[in-house]
Amino acid sequence: MANRKLSFWDMFNLSFGFFGVQIAYALQSANISRIFATLGADPHQLSFFWILPPLMGMIVQPLIGKYSDKTWNRMGRRKPYLLIGAIIAVLVMILLPNAGSLGLSTSYVLLGLNSAMWFGLFALIFLDTSINVAMQPFKMMVGDMVTEEQKTQAYSIQSFLCNAGQLVGCLAPYFLTSIGVANEAPEGVIPDSVIYSFYAGALILILCVVYTFVKVKEMPPKEYAEFHGIDLKAQEEKKESEGLVKLLTKAPKTFWQVGLVQFFCWAAFLYMWNYSPGSIAQNCWNTTDAASADYQAAGNWVGVVFAFQAVGAVLWALVLPKFRTVKLGYIVSLLIGAAGFVSLLFIKGMPFGIEARYIICVSYTLIGCAWAAMLAYPFTLLTNALEGNPHMGTYLGLFNCTICLPQIVAAATGKWVLTGVGTQPRMMLMAGIFLVIAAACVPLIKTKKSTN
């Protein structure tokens, strides 16, 4: 690999668009269950709304990786995809929170869903898909343009921007409510605090992506080949005969070993995103009525605790490099996150004379430790294992399946798990158990001695 070091600001510009993308992702994660509950979804139906988006991600991400590996034009290699994804995401972010305001009939029901919920479901599919299309190129560009020596710093900058975006996205409805934007609406209508948060997020998203698009200049083929020390022509000819399935069979063992850890991690966080609104409403506001003002207040508080999660992740990211080995840091981080999840089952009412909603902020801060590890370690381990592989984008796209598949499984089975455990707060206990299992799988990962 040629010695081509980037300045701090070069690496910052490379990932700045990720800030806007993560705002959109945080708005989706913190508000989707609230939106569909407001539209009339039963708690047992909520997991259904999380199946199709990651399914689309499993289909789209490998294709984005595969085709962007072979895209060479004056706009760039990865940049065309992030721009297209951002434009679609902006359009959907304007439509999705208005699902209850478009005059759709709530009396027409198909497969247990009314018209507003069906509209919201398809909008969610396009939103999650477009966000992933816009998000993945940022990870690929780091692999394309950053030396191995600077990769940790580059991903740390990306992680910081990711968590900063999550902080803004999660707090948006709470902030707007605090300055007088309505947080209540007629039954079946999404409150203005959520609608305007999505509007603001859409604006920031496109501005950030355009900034990166303008500031970053991707390498042309010859410079790329020299940078990575490869025969680009030979590799391109070879790629033509290798499909996704064949490449998957040649994936390094690290791909599968980290993927196993990813499975339990992302299943846990699917439960968090899905059941946090209902869990917090039940334990902290003592309500399960999605049409009540208390439930909408709990929905705002979800953004607050997710913001604490983001702060916890930012602070813990500073600690991660201090661990003697990557695997030790991974295990400790996941176990701390598990403790945060398990504590949510027991914090209710006025423990220690303090309202439960304030105490759970500590729980979500602990969960942020696991989130920081999930953002930093998997891609570091995988990109080091690939060592400049010309199929880097394709493998990163395929690796996204280790994020999407567990969400699909958790969403598809969530209805029956919830029926079995009985309450949404107990789903947080299940999430904690998943992180413990993930931590137990970390020692199975085989890495280079330097990162072991």
Q: Which two tokens stand for residue 294?
A: 């208390």
Greatest Cα pair distance, the chain, in angstroms, is: 69
Q: When comparing pLDDT for 47 and 15, which is higher?
A: 15
Report the alpha-carbon angle 292-294-298, nearest 5. 120
Residue 224 pLDDT:
75
Is residue 281 over pLDDT 80? yes
- Average predicted confidence (pLDDT) for the chain: 83
217-231 pLDDT, tens digit per residue, is: 888 777 777 776 766
- Has residue 128 been placed in a domain? yes
Residue 360 pLDDT:
94
Lowest mean pLDDT among 1-10, 19-28, 302-311: 1-10
Query: Residue 209 — pLDDT band, cuts 50, 70, 90?
Result: very high
Residue 200 pLDDT:
95
Return the CA Rg of the chain. Answer: 21
CATH number for position 39 = 1.20.1250.20
- Has residue 435 been placed in a domain? yes
Give, to the nearest 10 degrees, the angle between helix 8-38 and helix 192-215. 160
What is the rounded CA–CA span in Å between residue 418 and residue 93? 29
In this prediction, residues 28-34 reach a mean pLDDT of 79
In this prediction, residues 420-429 reach a mean pLDDT of 91
Q: Which residues pair with 114 in a beta bridge?
A: 109
Q: Specify the DSSP class assigned to residue 292.
A: S
Is 212 in contact with 82 (CB distance < 8 Å)?
Answer: yes
- Has residue 328 been placed in a domain? yes
Residue 19, number of CB atoms within 10 A of its CB: 26
- Has residue 3 been placed in a domain? no
Residue 337 pLDDT:
97
For the whole model, what pTM was predicted? 0.74
Residue 203 pLDDT:
96
- Has residue 250 been placed in a domain? yes
Query: Residue 448 — pLDDT band, cuts 50, 70, 90?
Result: low
Domain count for the chain: 1
In one-letter notation, the amino acid at residue 245 is: V
365-384 pLDDT, tens digit per residue, is: 999 999 988 987 887 788 77
Q: What percent of the chain has a predicted confidence (pLDDT) above 90?
A: 26
**Domain enclosing residue 119, as ranges:** 8-451
Q: Which two tokens stand for residue 341?
A: 């999840």
Residue 259 pLDDT:
92
- Has residue 431 been placed in a domain? yes
Query: Residue 450 — pLDDT band, cuts 50, 70, 90?
Result: very low
353-367 pLDDT, tens digit per residue, is: 788 899 999 999 999
Q: Which two tokens stand for residue 413?
A: 């089975």
Q: When comparing pLDDT for 117 and 15, which is higher?
A: 15
What is the rounded CA–CA span in Å between residue 47 and residue 61? 22
Lowest mean pLDDT among 7-21, 50-64, 192-206: 50-64
In this prediction, residues 98-112 reach a mean pLDDT of 64
What is the rounded CA–CA span in Å between residue 414 and residue 404? 15
Is residue 405 over pLDDT 50? yes
Is 230 in contact with 357 (CB distance < 8 Å)?
Answer: no
Q: When comparing pLDDT for 383 and 324, which is higher?
A: 324
Which residues, 6 or more positions from 385, have their beta carbon under 8 angstroms from its beta carbon? 252, 253, 254, 255, 447
Is residue 178 over pLDDT 80? yes
Is 325 in contact with 452 (CB distance < 8 Å)?
Answer: yes
- Has residue 2 been placed in a domain? no
